[in-house]
Amino acid sequence: MYKHILTAIDNSPRADRVLDAVRYLAGVTGADVHVLHAEEREIFADQVVDMETDEEARAVVDGAVARLREAGVTVEGEVIHVLREGVPANILKRARELGSDLIVLGPRHHGRLGALLGSSVSHEVSLHASVSMLLVV
């Protein structure tokens, strides 16, 4: 079944549900897991602004890796620095580079206005993924 799972998480409560699903899937399939967290950046005027600190981003990954390791999952994690609009492409790129056969995401629930103003990471990834995807709500 699955051998290499890539999960991209943020620091929201939905990340807990994503990690629960990944832990279960890795347990029943023996898959290894790669946890990815995008430290998002935005461009305002002529400056690039980090949306969180390096320490906050690293804590998200370290917490997820520790949680999965405690459950007996073989896991690695990384933080990538990327402009917000580049998150989907970077998730897909890392999935290809790692040979992932499953991508697990927790979609953000945007209101109508948010959906109109910006694209959804999970939607963009699902449009272009060449492997299976699991959305955990």
pLDDT of amino acid 35: 98
25-56 pLDDT, tens digit each: 999 999 999 999 999 999 888 899 999 999 99
pLDDT of amino acid 1: 86
pLDDT of amino acid 69: 98
Q: Per residue, what are the HEC states of the chain?
A: CCCEEEEECCCCCHHHHHHHHHHHHHHHHCCEEEEEEEEEEEEECCEEEECCCHHHHHHHHHHHHHHHHHCCCCEEEEEEEEEHHHHHHHHHHHHHHHCCCEEEECCCCCCHHHHHHCCCHHHHHHHHCCCEEEECC
Is 4-135 CATH 3.40.50.620?
yes
Bridge partners of residue 79, in order along the sequence: 37
pLDDT of amino acid 112: 57
Cα–Cα distance, 27 to 42 (Å, whole number): 37
pLDDT of amino acid 111: 53
pLDDT of amino acid 120: 87
Domains of the chain, by residue range, sit at 4-135
Chain mean pLDDT for the chain:
92
84-124 pLDDT, tens digit each: 999 999 999 999 999 999 999 998 755 555 555 556 899 99
